[in-house]
Structure 1
Amino acid sequence: MKKIKALLGVTFFVSALSFGVMSCDDSDETPAAKDVVDVALADSRFSTLTKLLTDNGLVSTLKGTGPFTVFAPTNDAFAKIDASKLTNAELVNILKSHVVSGRVLAADVKSGVATSLGSSIYLSKNSTGVFINGNSQVTTADVSASNGVIHIIDNVIVPPTKNLVEIAQGNANFSELVSLVLAADPAVLTALSTASANGLTVFAPTNAAFTELYKTTPKATLLAPANRGLLTSVLLYHVVPGRVFSSDLPNVSGEVGTANTTAKLTFDLAGGAKVKGKTSGNSNITAVNILGTNGIIHVIDKVLLP
């Protein structure tokens, strides 16, 4: 139990990188005449964003001295979500989550957590660009304004409202995983429910993946009281300390530590993202970046075995 609890303080190296709000010398640039709001108002691609900012009383904030870094979703990005199902408080939090204090150019972004005016957001950077929460990519960077900078993004940043356990319990495709977590050492459930500020990354096998495993290792065997230690070690092998988004994976090389301190994972991105178990081989990552309040979930099609 002590060993498992101690793991919650471990930070995966990708997520340990800080998000630096770096001062920039703009002496060689022509100062922008418009603030971030006026830049957005002048571009028809942001009509939904500017209307929402106006309707929710946020324009005066963004017309302030700043400086601000705004991750600006286009109209097409907003069309992907149903804002009518959001409460006013949720919508305001979403809008504020697109704004970070400080003028941060794309070249200055570092992978890690960023404190926005709303919920915290998580930045990743690889050779293809900058990503937010793994699901929103900067498509046009460094649009200058008098009180900051705008980065255009292709998806709205929606902060999570459920933790990892709640997400799994609400998805019928994870019912086998949930039943095994409940049968394992109670510390596994505690770890997944109360992860540290650095969060966890869970590679979650589907019911079909467990059905395949049961052909060689029956479920009754895993649930036998004498095998609780085995079950716990297998489940912990699917957990990596820290938030590791799919956009972080290109930066990862070599073996990666897991919550099972006796076994590590590796990744293979050739021909599609795969995570490799020590004795189980490659498992395809079939869905990525399901964000929870205390970490993220990637869906896999094969149970990983240490």
Structure 2
Amino acid sequence: MRTLTRLALTSLAVFTLAGCGDRPDATGQENSTAEAQAGASKLTLAATLKAGGAHAGLAKVMNNSGLMGALEGVGPYTLFAPADDALKGAGGADFTDAAMKAEGAALLRAHIVPGALTRADIIGAVDRSGSKGAQMRTMGGSLLTFTRSGNDLIATASDGASARLTGQEVLASNGMLQPLDGLLARPSAAPN
């Protein structure tokens, strides 16, 4: 019953945000889900991460955690991708270490939501929700709240961890990669 409730809430969050296209993005430019889909990459989210760039460390964590296969699948998913600098500063934890496999998987599930959500989708939902912010349930079961601070779009986890959406979003064949400047979960202490 709990799984059914979680699935229903997740679906509701996706459907709530799915119709949010054709809204100005954080830079004030028009962007819609249909326009974004027209420029979709042929790469999956997993292949996009493996291609390197600012998320090469995240690809290693994803591979170590065993979640790379999920991001090679059909999806769609939105991966709120912390930059490598945020992963390196995660309390000294090395999520690429085999001993941190479970912690890495939990951390990553806290950054993945079902559905392919553009910034325009998220901004539209935030604008409609008012001061309380738009909420989404992650694959890990935690709740993310999205708010605006000036032109910035801020994601805050239920444990208080927050990050700003930054950089260029990437539409993959099976979802959307949304870069972040921090982590949306407070990592547990690194093992000794």
Structure 2 length-normalised TM? 0.73
Deviation at 1:236? 0.7
For the pair 1:217 / 2:92, whether they are aligned, the reply is yes
Question: Please, which runs of 5 or more residues in structure 2 have no aligned partner?
Answer: 127-132, 187-192
Distance in 1, matches of 2:134 and 2:10, equals: 17
User: Shift in Å at residue 300 of structure 1?
Assistant: 0.6
The structure richer in helix per residue is 2
Identity over aligned residues, as a percent?
18
| Count of residue correspondences | 171
* Aligned residue in 2 for 1:205: 82
* Aligned match of 1:260: 140
Where structure 1 has 5 or more consecutive residues not aligned to the other structure, the ranges are 19-109, 112-122, 137-155
Deviation readout 1:78-136 (Å, 9 max, x if unpaired): xxxxxxxxxxxxxxxxxxxxxxxxxxxxxxxx82xxxxxxxxxxx71448997333766
Q: Deviation above 6 Å: which 4+ runs of structure 1?
A: 127-130
Once residues 55 and 120 of structure 2 are traced to their aligned partners in structure 1, the CA distance between those partners, rounded to angstroms, is: 24
Matches within 5 A, 1:154-169: 157-169=38-50
The amino acid across from 1:297 in the alignment is L
Please, which moves more after superposition, 175-184 or 276-285?
276-285
Structure 2 vs 1, CA of residues 218 and 17 (structure 1 numbering), >3 Å: closer, same or farther?
A: closer
* C-alpha contact 1:10 1:241 (8 A) present in aligned 2: no
Tell me the C-alpha RMSD between the 2 structures.
Answer: 3.3
CA distance in 2, matches of 1:247, 1:164: 19
The match for 2:63 among 145, 168, 182 is 182
Aligned to 2:189: none
Match for residue 301 of structure 1 among 174, 181, 190: 181
User: For the Cα contact (< 8 Å) 2:9–2:137, is it kept in 1?
Assistant: no
Aligned residue among 228, 240, 245 for 2:118: 245
Q: TM-score with structure 1 length normalisation? A: 0.48
Superposition pairs of residues 1-306 of structure 1, within 5 angstroms? 12-13=11-12, 15-16=14-15, 111=19, 124-126=21-23, 131-133=31-33, 157-184=38-65, 186=66, 188-196=67-75, 199-213=76-90, 216-219=91-94, 223-225=97-99, 227-249=100-122, 250-252=124-126, 253-261=133-141, 263-271=142-150, 272-279=152-159, 281-305=161-185
Which amino acid is the alignment partner of residue 88 of structure 2? Answer: T
**Distance in 1 of aligned mates of 2:16 and 2:83:** 31
Is this contact kept in 2: 1:246–1:288, CA < 8 A?
no
